[in-house]
Chain A
Amino acid sequence: MLNVAVVRFPGSNSDFDALRSAERAGMRGYFVWHRESDLRGADFVILPGGFSYGDYLRAGAIARFSPVMQAVQKHAAAGGPVLGICNGFQILCESHLLPGALLRNAGQSFVSKPVDLTVERAGTPFTSGFEAGETVRLPVAHGEGRFAAGDETLRMLEAEGRVVLRYVPASEGSPLQPNPNGSARHIAGVSNAAGNVVGIMPHPERFGDPASPDDGARFFTSMAAWQPSSSKATR
């Protein structure tokens, strides 16, 4: 059975949803406190949403220095899959595991609503159950989700196919407001070059309940179907 470590920081608030979603997909989920330095044989690491350390200084900036993040860096360097959701994405950017930064929403307000997205990179351990180009609907809930990076970085992300999720532009007929935060190139999620580290602003774990559309649950069933060939090295 695959092990999913859900890291909890002071201020994490989507930790239980992430754990339950992992368990529903048939994996073994458990919490790892930010003071711990052992991921206890994790196949996957999830950095959940919330407001770690009250978003002091910048969202994710302080969490980066938690003892557990050393273990996460090591896990990622060995090819182990890491998913950062919302605040987790912000932490991954601050930790330089992913490029860019997440800034205050262009619309000056916190947005909490469903959005339509295109899954552009289907090859990651978290999106292998999707077809590239498929449209999904997921909730977002953030005040700082505007992805920003230098032009060179943005070009690199596009050229290397590292945009994992993109907000569907309005012209394609979505009834929902496109790009809720003013992200550069409508980017909602990116990966590292190898594809094992993924950060996304939307919350698939909040659509993990059997009563909700399965768009969220499929991120977790993708994980459950993943073959952990490379992460065993970190055990």
Chain B
Amino acid sequence: MTQVAEPQGKRWVGGGILRKEDPELLTGQGRFVDDIALPGMLWLSFVRSPVAHANLARVDVDAAKDLPGVVAVFTGQDLADEWAAAMPCGWPIADRVMPDEPTADARVPDHWPVAKDRVRYMGEIVAVVAADSREHAADAVEAVEVDYDELPVVLDMEAALADDAPVIHEAFGDNRAYTWNLTNGEVDRVFAEAPVVVKERYYHPRLIPNPIEPRGVVVQPVPAQGELTIWSSTQIPHILRTLMALVMGIHEAKIRVIAPDVGGGFGSKLNFYAEEGIAVALARRLGRPVKWIEERTEGYLATIHGRDVIQDMEIAATEEGKTLGFRVKLLADMGAYWMLNTPGIPILGAWLYHGVYDARAYQFECTGVFTNKTPTDAYRGAGRPEATYAVERAMDALARRVGKDPAEIRELNFIPPFDQATEVASGLQFDSGNYAPTFQKAKELAGYDELRREQKASGGRRDGKLLGVGVSTYIEMCGLAPSQVLAAVKATAGGWEAATIRCHPTGKVTVVTGTSPHGQGHVTTWAQITADALGVDPDDVEVIHGDTEFSPTGLDTYGSRSISVGGTALYKAAEKIRAKARTIAAHELEVAEEDLEWKDGKFQVAGAPERAKTIPEIAFSAWTAHALPPDVEPGLFASAVWDPPNFTFPAGAHICVVEVDPDTGQVFIDKFVAVDDCGTVINPMIVDGQVMGGVAQGIAEALYEEALYDENGTLLTGNMSTYRVPSAAELPGFILDRTVTPSTTNPLGVKGIGEAGTIGSPPAVVNAVADALRPLGVENDQVEKPVSAERVWRTIQAAAGQAPAERVAEGGGTGAASMTPEGEGGLV
């Protein structure tokens, strides 16, 4: 029974109601791609290159074809005619970005789902097997014979740019992928005249995203109709459908993409993957359903990686430490090819290398570089963690230079509070911001002043360990994105989002969203927004997503966009519902529309609140259509598409307190405080959950995670036991709080929270370690992530003059690392 559940003053928005998604997931009734089994289904398995760079001299599949259960084996040449288009890059960067900043050399590599004649990274697909079982497919993969004529490998970005470097894509002549520059203000003059300039180099190791559900795809063809249903563990069912139509040359109406329950993404499932295209090609060619489930070790090679960026970061300042200019030069490792967003990822940080600080000059320059490694793409934060890290590490360097406390240097430079869109140093318009109170709150929760007193009194020691305090603030650019801005930066798609609301005669409500959640709780949050907007109970709201048959329009979930773009589309649809409902209510109550007020979740006659109509009542009359006003169509449903006028700019302050064991280099996190400002909060429980998960990933990035290759381009951290995803035992508890500065970009005032934790936390951790090591004479830029026990120990030894010459933390080392993956590490 529907109940109009809003007593006076009560609103669902802002309440931590329990998730509607949970009962199925808690009882094993969730439906993930691997849970799908279809009659006659074939298993796919891939032959992948074991070498990083080679010509394919021979790919012989004859022996494999003869094995039991094998239905087909195809090489890249066999499938060459299946593709109507190459693997798509949806963000091929600009030829021109800002006026007078020519960047005319973006180069899109030739990239096919199965390599035709050359492989350029370990794990690239060389052939595909279809067999009647997983085991038979695996056996056949072993039987494919490939002769690789190996070519010289290039892994380090700076080496790749050298004149004599092996060229990965011969057509380009060298390994430069693009240059993309942005300048605002008189940068050269400001830096030339500034009394203080700090310059440091930082390196962001390669990261492997690691959602706990591996990727997977099932394709069911209906050959007679030429139709396909694709189940994929993807963040982007709508975009995938469009891309699949392009790559396969199939009418979109013939393709249904379903993202069932998706076990995490973090950007790694925001792509068009070769395996998806191949699965469709084989399902069509063989006329049978096919299935592929990624093995984790396979995924470490085949799923995109994140980060892998070198930054030369500079801040110009006064002698007091007042910031005047920010300037950064990036080298960004593309890996061997461009995936959907590869070249665009560093650009997501392009405007943010001044953080939340004032300045009058700004410059960002990025060069993308091809190397013989797995392609990089979006990993939680995507471009913004890189920017935040550089700014926040460099602010600590500035604090050291001018002799100020790290907190003080930040407080000196915060952009003053603003509640209307305001231009900042990079030229962007931030939506709203009030950074000092957020920072103050974090300091209070951390006990910042007492910690500094303790350090002073103890010489930076606590129980024999080195005590360090690290602060970080951050700014994000979320709510992707205003379509016209995307056009300006040469992204192929727009940034709008769609929603539909249907009010049923029973009083129940169906919401259809174009967002595609995979853990973020949209079903619950969207129900809360709807409940307040229409005066219904969240339990009466069903939210449909992730199936292009029922949700045909949308641009999916990434870049902390869902609430600010998708949530606003929903809000706009609800406004349309209310506008129509008001007309019907006025007619039924025999009053003018202006005499009705929306109050307590219903339309009431002003001055006579007992005369009222609820949305469920109006939905019923709209359905019967017995007595509708003239020119009003039957039914109560509405759709809206929201194209945001601007990005949103969540911000926050994180503080980390560490104790470092000087003998082992182990880092113990004593306290982690995160105060985040994501604007209006719809469901605080979910928002806190997003922050905690994000902070955990950020701490993991700071302390543990690093994908390492040997000099041949073999991934050394090639499985889950050598690449260190931390467990509960290696992570601390978190102290969370928030401030609320509503966005001016959308009527809900929301900014987004999915990536905040991952963006704000790494520099707080690394700054804390640098702070702890400072009494030993360790310089700020001698401390680099991951601050693993080995690396910290080496840094301590080097500072004491007792170390071998090797400094692992030296910036600029990329692929061919000399260190081995850390085995035992710090229990935090």
Is B a genuine binding partner of A? no
Residues of A within 8 A of B (CB): none
